[in-house]
Structure 1
Amino acid sequence: MVGCELSPIFCRRNPMGAIIGVIIIAIVLIAIFAPLVATHHPTLDADFKALREPPSSAHWVGTDNIGRDLYSRVVHGSRISLFVALIAVMVGDLFGAVWGVATGYIGGKFDTYSQRVLELMMSFPTLILAMILVLVMGAGVWTVIVAIGFTRVPLSVRVIRSVTLSVKENAYVDAAQAIGASGSRVMLNHIAPQCVAPWLVLATAHLGSVIILEASLGFLGVGVPLPTATWGNMLGGTVAGGLVPHWWMVIFPGLAITITVLAFNLFGDSIRDALDPKLRGRT
């Protein structure tokens, strides 16, 4: 009921955010119903008489180096890219949120040791850390999800920890402790709910970053293995096929990445504005 009441308010106060939300829903629906939206099979329907063919009535956005329909591969690639992004963000940010609440509330040596571990994790560039994890664990969809989710943990812990340190100084937390509530109950019932809003903003912001990270891994050849279509390995295969790739083999996968990442980033900004009390009432 609360969501139904907030939706018209959100649309009225932030029309751009509502439009971006519709675009995101459309992208997700395309990914879910990719077999119905695509015109060809992404891997099996290879037309060897139409290698590297430019956009035409038969192939709307052209074909790749072995004659596969590029439009169908972009559509099916959205399934893997969005699936990896959503699961990696959920796993990484959720684990980071739990860790952040615990380290911020418990404090002491646990907090000190946690910060040193996080500093060690953040000392590696994100892409390098993800590549190392994928190379150690082996190629695969779930391997990429685990590797990317692992890179989301440090920032999630830092953000949620800072919120926890602020929330635990409130009087209602002291009151809960005074009546004998356990630490786990205080964290679950009184601190965690106050971290939901910043977590939502962080998760939506991470979605765009994760899509780029997954595409980067695929471009470098260490992401989801071929012949599975992803936006990243489509770009990587195009560049590997020649020094000067054909424009349609670069433009359309790159455009899919750009539109999706931009949509998630703008939607994250809209959620932040909607949840920020200082910005309420503004258009």
Structure 2
Amino acid sequence: MKTPLFTGSGVAIVTPFNHETVDLEALRHLLDFQLENGTDAVIVCGTTGEAATMSYAERMRTIECCVEHVNGRVPVIAGTGSNSTETARTQSRDAARAGVHGVLVVTPYYNKASQEGLVRHYNTVADASPVPVIVYDVPSRTGVSIAPETYARLAQHPNINGVKEAAGNPGALQRTRNLCPEDFFIWSGNDDETAAMCMLGGKGVISVVANVFPAAMHRLSALCLSGDFAAAGRLQLELKELCDAMFCEVNPIPVKTALNLMGYHAGQLRLPLCEPSEGNLDRIRRTLEQYGLLPQA
């Protein structure tokens, strides 16, 4: 019987860049903010971490820094996906050697693999990885979605722990839950779907919003996991405007902008990402004020 890599709120942490490379000291400050506010896991070098624009050496230094600084207090999970199966396999092995507890592997983008190709891709990566694999389904970014029947096949692999589900398809999610064994775990990949997904058996969320409001996302997940869905539903609704603001432009533009406004050095965005429009910058600032997340003058 498998056990989940984590339960609760895992932050998909941003990567703070300076003009040259990753600002590891700023990353340590961000990690402290998370650990002091109840975050249950750290997911490093994912979409929110802008891994697609990082060199291999930068990714490994960032992963190693997270593992060292977190020091076993919560699980650290590294994004190691690629549209090349061999690259995903190599990055997963190397991240495991750096000490992560698990790896998050996005569906191969651009190639648009068939369902059979997805099964072979993930089984190949899981066979090679010394740590458990979380599948990551985000068709809005990759152009391919994993079918519930494919999850049922992947769930049979002893090293595939579950899925970060960001397809936004509740009907498919219900079918996945019915087709898969209980030890194929599901985490919400969309902040505003956390309570609904947990009500259907999810184990928590891999969260963007936790970057700016970790205590609230931890509480939301805790309410869900304790079965208090009435309170969880109320909190989910209270957080809706913040969730929307953090996605008013493509992730991670709003959340890095928000962290900088909050006084945390999240650094610059890497091209092709750039700063938000003036209108969205104002929206982000006003929303942070509404939730009491800006420093007091």
Q: Same fold (TM over 0.5)?
A: no
Taking structure 2 as the reference length, the TM-score comes to: 0.25
Give the TM-score, by structure 1 length.
0.26
Bigger strand share: 2
Structure showing greater radius of gyration is: 1
Which one has the bigger helix percentage? 1
